[in-house]
Amino acid sequence: MKISRHGVILDVIERETISSQEMLRQRLAVRGYGVTQATLSRDLKELGLVKRPTDGGYQRPGAFGAGSPADALSVLQRTVAEFLTRADRTEQLVLLRTDSGQASLLAIAFDRATLPDVFGTIAGDDTILVVCRDADAARALMERMDVWRAGPSQPSPSAAVDHMHHV
Average model confidence (pLDDT) across the chain: 81
SS in 3 state form for the chain?
A: CHHHHHHHHHHHHHHCCCCCHHHHHHHHHHCCCCCCHHHHHHHHHHHCCEECCCCCCEECHHHCCCCCHHHHHHHHHHHHHHHCCEEEEECCEEEEECCCCCHHHHHHHHHHHCCCCEEEEEECCCEEEEEECCHHHHHHHHHHHHHHHHCCCCCCHHHHCCCCEEC
Question: Residues 84-104: what's their mean pLDDT?
Answer: 92
pLDDT of res. 42? 87
Residue 15 pLDDT class (50, 70, 90 cuts)? confident
Structural domains present in the chain: 2-63 (1.10.10.10), 69-166 (3.30.1360.40)
User: Per-residue pLDDT tens for 125-141?
Assistant: 899 999 999 999 999 99
pLDDT of res. 64? 52
Of the two residues 161 and 112, the one the predictor is more confident about is 112
Residue 13 pLDDT class (50, 70, 90 cuts)? confident
Residue 160 pLDDT class (50, 70, 90 cuts)? very low
